[in-house]
């Protein structure tokens, strides 16, 4: 889940030093290119701040048999509130610190999202250390703030290990949090930026089945056939609203950890492989067509069927999943924004559980790219009722749902 503002390559968030901010403000050293978010300390040092907010209203049909007064459930959700704090302390050294409020819906508790020390030396080779996104498929590298669809996770394909728990724990139930884990990633690009890579080494599952403290390995390689995508680090976007030119990029990612699934009494190894595609074409009338697609194949070796049925230990998804979406951005403005209707289909086939899918159609009202947009969508399927339950007895009905989401960033 990518989390700092990446639509401006020069606006990468930086470490926050209160004294530096105060002195920067007093000296009037705010540069025009950072739109008031960045404060220059000297020729090589700067800090910047930013924030992101996602909030929504959702309504979902109850399963058949519910009373008429319980036919629909309605919820207002504070999905995310983030603070971005980043900076540069040397020509080659940067630091990033981002926060998230994962329990905002239950009162709120701010936690560390990213904490990265960056050695950015050359476009071909760089090193990040600390807590960061594990290299994975485009959906993860987009994060919620840079995906084309608001419900990218709640109505999406199965999670990676680092997404299965909202809190990092050491009791065999957690391999990170919100797509992040503690480790190191080497990343860069060759061939004029067309061939992009990220190779990471992470803690992965803590305790439980991982009795030998095996490392989780995560890799992503992508090739840009048309225009080169420009993002900070190894992050991606689900759409550039036509501002990135014509794009055709194919990515391949893989994660593996011995002892990364199951329990201490019944350990197993996890492998997750994904192929993803982004096609974005600017038409002669300045309209923009965007297509996103991904195929996942996840496997678990070991972990006997009895344990799977009982859902004991760190029980990850095993099987195949597909996610494809298409959207069209109208060139004409409607008041302060542009309409971007979209359709999406997600299909999930677990090895030891029932299949599930969801159809989604909606429209984004794009005011300022990923910084300001409103999304309204209608969903139908049983993925919403079965969710991430991959046990043999998982059941759920096809239901309708509606979601209205708001996203702001600065």
Residue 11 inside a domain? The answer is no
The predicted pLDDT at position 139 comes to 96
Residue 106 inside a domain? The answer is yes
> For residue 302, what are its two tokens?
């070991």
The predicted pLDDT at position 32 comes to 31
Residue 8 inside a domain? The answer is no
Q: Are strands 72-90 and 93-100 parallel, antiparallel or unpaired?
A: antiparallel
**In which domain, by residue range, is 357 found?**
18-409
Q: Among residues 131, 217, 215, which one has the least CA distance to residue 180?
A: 131
Residue 28 inside a domain? The answer is yes
pLDDT in tens, the chain (410 residues): 444 334 333 333 333 333 333 333 333 333 333 333 789 999 899 999 999 999 999 999 987 655 555 689 999 999 999 999 999 999 999 999 999 998 777 777 899 999 999 999 999 999 999 999 999 999 999 999 999 999 999 999 999 999 998 889 999 999 999 999 999 999 999 999 999 999 999 999 999 999 999 999 999 999 999 999 999 999 999 999 999 999 999 999 999 999 999 999 889 999 999 999 999 999 999 999 999 999 999 999 987 655 665 667 898 999 999 999 999 999 999 999 999 999 999 999 999 899 999 999 999 999 999 999 999 999 999 999 999 888 888 899 999 999 999 999 99
> For residue 129, what are its two tokens?
């250390």
> For residue 306, what are its two tokens?
């009895």
Please tell me the distance from the alpha carbon of residue 303 to that of residue 170, in angstroms, as a whole number: 20
Q: In whole angstroms, how far apart are CA 265 and each of 63, 261, 273, 311?
A: 37, 11, 26, 13
Answer whether 301's CB lies under 8 Å from 321's CB: no
Q: In whole angstroms, how far apart are CA 50 and each of 1, 5, 14, 45?
A: 17, 8, 9, 17
- 176 Rama class: left (phi>0) / alpha (psi -120 to 50) / beta: left
Radius of gyration of the CA atoms of the chain, in A: 21
The predicted pLDDT at position 23 comes to 36
Residue 13 inside a domain? The answer is no
CATH of residue 169's domain is: 2.40.160.10
Map tokens 């025009």 to a residue: 32
Q: Are strands 180-190 and 125-133 parallel, antiparallel or unpaired?
A: antiparallel
Residue 366 inside a domain? The answer is yes
Residue 4 inside a domain? The answer is no
Q: Are strands 267-282 and 216-224 parallel, antiparallel or unpaired?
A: unpaired
The predicted pLDDT at position 2 comes to 44
Q: In whole angstroms, how far apart are CA 63 and each of 66, 357, 384, 388, 399?
A: 6, 16, 11, 17, 7
Domains in the chain, number: 1
Q: In whole angstroms, how far apart are CA 181 and each of 28, 218, 267?
A: 38, 11, 21
Q: Are strands 216-224 and 195-202 parallel, antiparallel or unpaired?
A: antiparallel
The predicted pLDDT at position 231 comes to 96
Q: Taking the model in full, what pTM does it have?
A: 0.89
The predicted pLDDT at position 74 comes to 94
Residue 81 inside a domain? The answer is yes
Backbone angles phi, psi at 69, to 5 degrees: -80, -5
Q: Are strands 111-122 and 125-133 parallel, antiparallel or unpaired?
A: antiparallel
**DSSP labels, 241-295:** TTTT-SEEEEEEEEEEEEEEEE-SSSEEEEEEEEEEEEEEEE-TTS-EEEEEEEE
């Amino acid at each position: 889940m990518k989390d700092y503002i990446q639509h401006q390559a020069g606006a990468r968030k930086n470490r926050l030093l209160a004294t530096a901010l105060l002195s920067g403000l007093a000296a009037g050293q705010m540069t025009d290119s950072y739109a008031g978010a960045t404060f220059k300390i000297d020729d090589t040092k700067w800090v910047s701040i930013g924030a992101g907010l996602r909030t929504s209203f959702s309504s979902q049909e109850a399963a058949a048999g519910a009373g008429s007064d319980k036919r629909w459930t309605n919820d207002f959700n504070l999905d995310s509130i983030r603070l971005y704090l980043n900076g540069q302390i040397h020509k080659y050294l940067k630091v990033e610190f981002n926060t998230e409020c994962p329990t905002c819906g239950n009162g709120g508790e701010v936690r560390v999202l990213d904490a990265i020390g960056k050695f950015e030396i050359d476009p071909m080779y760089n090193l990040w250390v600390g807590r960061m996104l594990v290299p994975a498929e485009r959906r993860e590298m987009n994060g919620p703030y840079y995906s084309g669809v608001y419900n990218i996770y709640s109505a999406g394909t199965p999670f990676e290990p680092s997404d299965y728990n909202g809190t990092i724990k050491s009791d065999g139930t957690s391999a990170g949090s919100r797509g992040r884990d503690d480790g190191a990633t080497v990343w860069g690009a060759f061939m004029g930026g067309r061939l992009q890579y990220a190779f990471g080494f992470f803690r992965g599952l803590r305790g439980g089945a991982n009795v030998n403290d095996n490392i989780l390995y995560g890799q992503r390689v992508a090739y840009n056939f048309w225009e080169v995508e420009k993002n900070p680090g190894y992050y991606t976007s689900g759409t550039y609203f036509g501002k990135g030119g014509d794009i055709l990029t194919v990515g391949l990612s893989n994660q593996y950890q011995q002892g990364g699934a199951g329990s201490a009494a019944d350990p197993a190894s996890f492998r997750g492989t994904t192929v993803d595609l982004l096609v974005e074409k600017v038409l002669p009338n300045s309209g923009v067509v965007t297509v996103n697609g991904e195929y996942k194949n996840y496997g678990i070796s070991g972990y006997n069927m009895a344990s799977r049925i009982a859902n004991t230990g760190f029980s990850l998804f095993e099987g195949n999943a597909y996610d494809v979406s298409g959207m069209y951005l109208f060139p004409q403005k409607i008041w302060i924004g542009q309409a971007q209707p979209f359709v999406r289909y997600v299909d999930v086939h677990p090895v030891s559980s029932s299949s599930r899918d969801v159809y989604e159609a909606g429209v984004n009202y794009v005011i300022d790219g990923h910084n300001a947009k409103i999304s309204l969508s209608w969903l139908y399927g049983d993925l919403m009722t079965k969710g991430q339950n991959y046990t043999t007895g998982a059941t759920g009905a096809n239901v309708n749902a509606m979601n209205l989401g708001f996203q702001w960033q600065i």
